[in-house]
């Protein structure tokens, strides 16, 4: 009698969990597997403490496979290992059958920074941390986990630890969306100036003064039948008192569904940059490319990062290219980054090109060029070209507008040119130039 009671309690708990948002078809499949598992002797003593271990080398199962013997880790209740610390629960957070993957701990290192995968049948992927990847969703339902933000650069005495890239977003289930990519780590370099040594022409000692933001993580792929691609992570910012500064590149947007109508993810924005010293350059990070699609909207390209110089030259980051699509409207190109220098020259970033449509649909518009303001010379960024429309039906994209330019010296301003329209798209307008008469 006690054994029957245990089976009843266990089945009730499973029914309650499955009832929270799971479709009838999936629930039916789950009950078949669970019914077999309840035949295990209910008098077996359960461990008093379960340690869930995140496995970094978990393999993705094909969408058509529900083989419980595939993949890594204990996936068959009949083959449970003798050591209780290796067990994962069957249902619930961290569950190997149905459940959300666990989030990585904030103080994690190495592979432990990856989010856990969702259960075999379904569940969201866990979020990564410190640049770790987001976990993949389960087979049938759930969204991919977000990638963790990268770690900022660290300066301890004369030792520098570089900034790390953001983690990639996890893949969505058959009907879920991909996770967003993590932001790249930033780099702020305030160390004392180091000059090049003429006696070592093959070594650039002054490079220790430079700062570089890390790249953003890629967005996760959306599900095969529904769901959006995840957005790419933003690039990390960079700042240097005595050297060059370069913002991190934005992450690529996640691709969208193969058979559904979801939207692809946007590319991440490029990181901003700031440099102070004469003869140095601040360069904004390039925007990430928008995600591609099959039968829906392509992702927009990320905007280029802005650049600021005191006495340094400033160059805005280029906008990312829009994502293409087979059938549907392609993504718009990202705008070029702004550029401003108080005592130096400035050049706005170029706008990204619009995405290309292969069969039916409109090409993406080009991004606008970035504005520029410089002490002596300023050049606006050029607009991006429009993307081609569908080969069978569809208009091309418009070109982006050129960036404006403002200079403090007569004749020092040059406006950015407008981008070319494609396949019937309109050309973009040129920017305006302003300087003293």
Average pLDDT over residues 16-35: 39
Q: Determine the pLDDT at residue 118.
A: 97
Query: Of the given ranges (149-163, 169-183, 275-289), which has the lowest mean pLDDT?
Result: 149-163
**Residue range 420-433, pLDDT digits in tens:** 999 999 999 999 99
Instruction: Please give the share of the chain, as a percent, with pLDDT higher than 90.
Output: 73
Q: Determine the pLDDT at residue 224.
A: 85
Spatial distance between the Cα atoms of 316 and 334, rounded to a whole number of angstroms: 12
**Residue range 334-374, pLDDT digits in tens:** 999 999 999 999 999 999 999 999 999 999 999 999 999 99
Q: Determine the pLDDT at residue 40.
A: 35
Q: How would you label 291-324 residue by residue, b for 16+ Cβ within 10 Å and e otherwise?
A: bbbbbbbbbbbbbbbbbbbbebbbbbbbbbbbbb
Confidence of residue 86 (pLDDT cuts 50, 70, 90): low
**Residue range 239-294, pLDDT digits in tens:** 999 999 999 999 999 999 877 678 999 999 999 999 999 999 999 999 999 999 99
- State phi, psi for 12 to the nearest 5 degrees: -65, -40
pTM of the model: 0.81
Arithmetic mean of pLDDT over the chain = 85
Spatial distance between the Cα atoms of 287 and 382, rounded to a whole number of angstroms: 15
- State phi, psi for 184 to the nearest 5 degrees: -70, 150
Query: Of the given ranges (32-41, 100-109, 273-282), which has the lowest mean pLDDT?
Result: 32-41
200: number of Cβ within 10 Å? 9
Confidence of residue 230 (pLDDT cuts 50, 70, 90): very high
Q: Is 343 exposed, middle or buried (0-12, 13-18, 19+ CB in 10 A)?
A: middle
Confidence of residue 12 (pLDDT cuts 50, 70, 90): very low
Q: Under a CB-based contact definition with an 8 Å cutoff, are residues 286 and 321 in contact?
A: no
Higher pLDDT, 83 or 258: 258
Q: Determine the pLDDT at residue 77.
A: 32
Residue 38: pLDDT above 50? no
Spatial distance between the Cα atoms of 369 and 233, rounded to a whole number of angstroms: 22
Residue 85: pLDDT above 90? no
- Cβ-proximal residues to 145 (8 Å cutoff; 6+ apart), any chain: 101, 103, 115, 116, 124, 125, 126, 127, 128, 134, 135, 136, 137, 169, 170, 179, 220
Residue 3: pLDDT above 70? no
Confidence of residue 87 (pLDDT cuts 50, 70, 90): confident
Spatial distance between the Cα atoms of 115 and 250, rounded to a whole number of angstroms: 21
Confidence of residue 88 (pLDDT cuts 50, 70, 90): confident
Average pLDDT over residues 410-418: 97
Average pLDDT over residues 8-24: 42
Q: Determine the pLDDT at residue 303.
A: 99
Domain regions of the chain by residue span: 1-16+23-40, 47-145, 270-437
Residue 76: pLDDT above 90? no
Spatial distance between the Cα atoms of 269 and 322, rounded to a whole number of angstroms: 13
Q: Which DSSP symbol is given to 293? A: B
Higher pLDDT, 44 or 155: 155
Q: Determine the pLDDT at residue 362.
A: 97
Q: Using N-to-C axis directions, what is the helix angle for 24-37 and 2-18, rounded to 10°?
A: 160
């Amino acid at each position: 009698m006690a054994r029957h009671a245990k089976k009843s309690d266990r089945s009730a708990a499973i029914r309650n969990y499955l009832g929270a948002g799971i479709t009838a078809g999936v629930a039916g499949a789950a009950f078949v597997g669970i019914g077999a598992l309840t035949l295990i002797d209910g008098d077996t003593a359960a461990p008093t403490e379960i340690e869930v271990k995140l496995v970094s080398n978990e393999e993705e199962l094909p969408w058509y496979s529900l083989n419980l013997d595939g993949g890594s880790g204990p996936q068959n209740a009949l083959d449970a290992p003798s050591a209780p610390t290796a067990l994962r629960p069957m249902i619930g957070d961290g569950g190997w059958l149905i459940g959300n993957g666990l989030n990585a701990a904030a103080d994690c290192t190495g592979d432990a920074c990856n989010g856990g995968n969702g259960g075999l049948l379904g569940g969201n992927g866990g979020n990564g941390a410190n640049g770790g990847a987001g976990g993949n969703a389960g087979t049938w339902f759930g969204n991919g986990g977000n990638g963790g933000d990268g770690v900022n650069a660290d300066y301890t005495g004369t030792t520098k630890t570089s900034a790390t890239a953001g983690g990639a977003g996890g893949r969505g289930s058959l009907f879920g969306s991909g996770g967003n990519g993590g932001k790249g780590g930033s780099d702020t370099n305030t160390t004392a100036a180091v000059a090049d040594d003429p006696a070592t022409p093959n070594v650039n000692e002054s490079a220790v003064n430079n700062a570089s933001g890390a790249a953003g993580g890629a967005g996760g792929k959306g599900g095969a039948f529904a769901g959006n691609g995840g957005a790419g992570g933003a690039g990390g910012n960079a700042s240097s008192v005595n050297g060059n500064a370069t913002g991190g590149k934005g992450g690529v947007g996640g691709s969208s569904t193969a058979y559904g109508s979801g939207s692809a993810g946007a590319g991440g924005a490029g990181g901003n940059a700031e440099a102070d010293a004469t003869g140095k350059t601040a360069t904004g990070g390039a925007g990430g490319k928008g995600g591609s699609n099959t039968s829906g909207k392509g992702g927009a390209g990320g905007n280029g990062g802005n650049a600021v110089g005191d006495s340094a030259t400033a160059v805005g980051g280029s906008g990312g290219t829009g994502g293409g699509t087979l059938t549907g409207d392609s993504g718009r190109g990202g705008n070029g980054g702004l550029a401003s220098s108080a005592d130096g020259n400035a050049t706005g970033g170029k706008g990204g090109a619009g995405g290309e449509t292969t069969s039916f649909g409109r090409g993406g518009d080009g991004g606008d060029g970035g504005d520029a303001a410089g002490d002596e010379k300023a050049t606006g960024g050029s607009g991006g070209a429009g993307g081609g429309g569908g080969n069978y039906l569809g208009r091309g994209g418009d070109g982006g507008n050129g960036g404006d330019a403002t200079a403090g010296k007569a004749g020092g301003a040059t406006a950015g040119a407008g981008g070319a329209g494609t396949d019937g798209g309109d050309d973009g307008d040129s920017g305006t130039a302003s300087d003293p008469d």
